[in-house]
Amino acid sequence: MAMTLSNSVPSACIVCLSASNQFYLPSSPFKSLKPPLFWPWQKVKMGPLTVSPMGFGTWAWGNQLLWGYQPSMDSQLQQVFNLAVENGLNLFDTADSYGTGRLNGQSEKLLGKFIREFQGEKRIRDEIVIATKFAAYPWRLTSGQFVQACRASRDRMQIEQVGIGQLHWSTANYAPPQELALWNGLVAMYEKGLVKAVGVSNYGPKQLVKIHDYLKARGVPLCSAQVQFSLLSMGEDQMEIKDICDSLDIRLISYSPLGLGMLTGKYTPSRLPQGPRGLLFKQILPGLKPLLVSLREIAEKRCKTIPQVAINWCICKGTIPIPGVKTVKQAEENLGALGWRLSSNELLQLDYAAQESPRRMIQNIFQTK
């Protein structure tokens, strides 16, 4: 029998959800008088920066192949950005490779445009942190070329300084000699004041310690590390990376906290997304029933949605999740992951359900050891 799990909210929870809806659309002439989604003291230190306990990822902004982006979506993406910022989110993750074909760099361009056109307080705009990643393309062989990449990103966004400059992936798996150029590129862009802080993405435990020690010897603190971290990606490597980050004062950013959408409850083995994701979901979804059942059970009890529970799990594990958003509806739902915390028993239930589910998320091919 086909598994049927819905992300819809039970009718019994409608009143509860309405009462707990703490965010507002910036287009409204009246601001909400309810408490904020999180208080200033609940923000997170990330090196020299202070960021919201959740950010938004912008991989889909410009990606036609996987996410079906069209320029006609830009007005809604701007609404998404405004909604997030008006409700306290100040961390946005992007990359110089986000955007397919002629739209390469589109995500950065849109973020820069939205910042410039934001109509709110200047103080709020000035607190926005853009974390962009620089691709380890095979033709980027020197530290100077990574500095040029950083300048190009800065120009696309039309900002004076990047919040966090990150290496998108390590070349240790396939081109070890190039790795030192990546590291020296981070050092150079930091020393030149092009970035406020530096970070890495897709670095495994061993490489993470190596680059941390190398940067520390050069007087450059490593402030963040991105890794695929979710209820679908909680293997030994993820747990070891989390322990290393805690011990070295590196903030762990969890990307794909909803497993590309598999943890939304929206899809089933008989209802799949179009495109490449559908092929992946077809392989993995049939083995996720124990996990999705537990997510739904907790969501109903909490008067939350399945994605809100899955994202909150990442927050409770001490990470900063950066779920992707394309629509105002998605942004509103993701914001509902803030302002509350799963109990210890609920966390244990989800951990156990994830372990009992026979399938896991396919790991990024660029993830190192």
Question: 56-57 and 49-51 as β-strands: parallel, antiparallel, unpaired?
Answer: unpaired
> Is there a domain that residue 191 lies in?
yes
SS3 230: strand
The angle at the Cα of 277, spanning 272 to 283, to the nearest 5 degrees, equals 70
Q: What is the pLDDT of residues 3-22, one digit of tens each?
A: 444 444 544 454 454 434 45
> Is there a domain that residue 288 lies in?
no
pLDDT band at 23 (very low <50, low <70, confident <90, very high): low
> Is there a domain that residue 267 lies in?
no
For residue 205, how many other CB atoms are within 10 A of its CB? 21
- Percentage of residues in the chain having pLDDT higher than 90: 69
- Please tell me the total count of domains within the chain: 1
> Is there a domain that residue 367 lies in?
no
pTM of this structure: 0.88
> Is there a domain that residue 33 lies in?
no
**What does the mean pLDDT of the chain come to?**
89
> Is there a domain that residue 198 lies in?
yes
Q: Residue 188: which CATH number?
A: 3.20.20.100
Q: What is the pLDDT of residues 296-346, one digit of tens each?
A: 999 999 999 999 999 999 999 999 999 999 999 999 999 999 999 999 999
> Is there a domain that residue 283 lies in?
no
Residue 196 Cα distances to 5, 161, 336, angstroms: 44, 7, 30
Told to judge if 174 belongs to the known catalytic residues of this protein, a careful annotator would answer no
> Is there a domain that residue 29 lies in?
no
42 or 348, greater pLDDT:
348
Query: What residue numbers bound the domain in which 118 lies?
Result: 44-262+308-341
Residue among 69, 98, 203, 267 flagged as catalytic: 98
Q: What is the pLDDT of residues 284-303, one digit of tens each?
A: 888 888 999 999 999 999 99
Instruction: Give, to the nearest 10 degrees, the angle between helix 106-117 and helix 74-86.
Output: 60
